A and B are shown apart, each in its own frame.
Chain A
Amino acid sequence: GEDVEQSLFLSVREGDSSVINCTYTDSSSTYLYWYKQEPGAGLQLLTYIFSNMDMKQDQRLTVLLNKKDKHLSLRIADTQTGDSAIYFCAESNTGGFKTIFGAGTRLFVKA
């Protein structure tokens, strides 16, 4: 079945860039999402990208999609301590109803 995989941990220093990677298996994926979850809170949608796009930039966030390799990445520029959270990669196919999530990458930002 469909699967989404992420590394579980990432540690960076404040001010550095963070790159969180994700791979997926469903070749019919239409939307790919990045969610952020802070302690005790629900998931917050950070950004999403359509499968016909290679890149999307939104302020400090850059999403890169390599559809051939089914690889998605989220780059956070000038990472701040407030960016410490769990980041979930997710994909869904046309219709957008069924969404498959990765296990989440826990980002630690050291001051």
Chain B
Amino acid sequence: DAGVTQSPTHLIKTRGQQVTLRCSPKSGHDTVSWYQQALGQGPQFIFQYYEEEERQRGNFPDRFSGHQFPNYSSELNVNALLLGDSALYLCASSVGQGEVETQYFGPGTRLLVL
């Protein structure tokens, strides 16, 4: 049973560019959450997708956007990259029904903005 997968593993971009990160959830999971982990910090919630809709976003600007596809995979897009966007981006999948979900994380995509 494959776990959560993310691509690419590493990415280098320059300021002002745009980036797209991809995530495939665990088999049987229908919900995808995205987190940003800056160096030396805990992960911060960006947003969550369920049934192809964004449920809610954390304290991140509109430069951060996402999408969920009918097969439950998801993309995170970041426009107009800033140096401060350099971080590990983590995707987590879960089953979206029930009171509390257990989120399982992928290996992350490390983004470096120069």
Do the two shown chains form a genuine complex with each other? no
Binding site for B on A (CB under 8 A): none
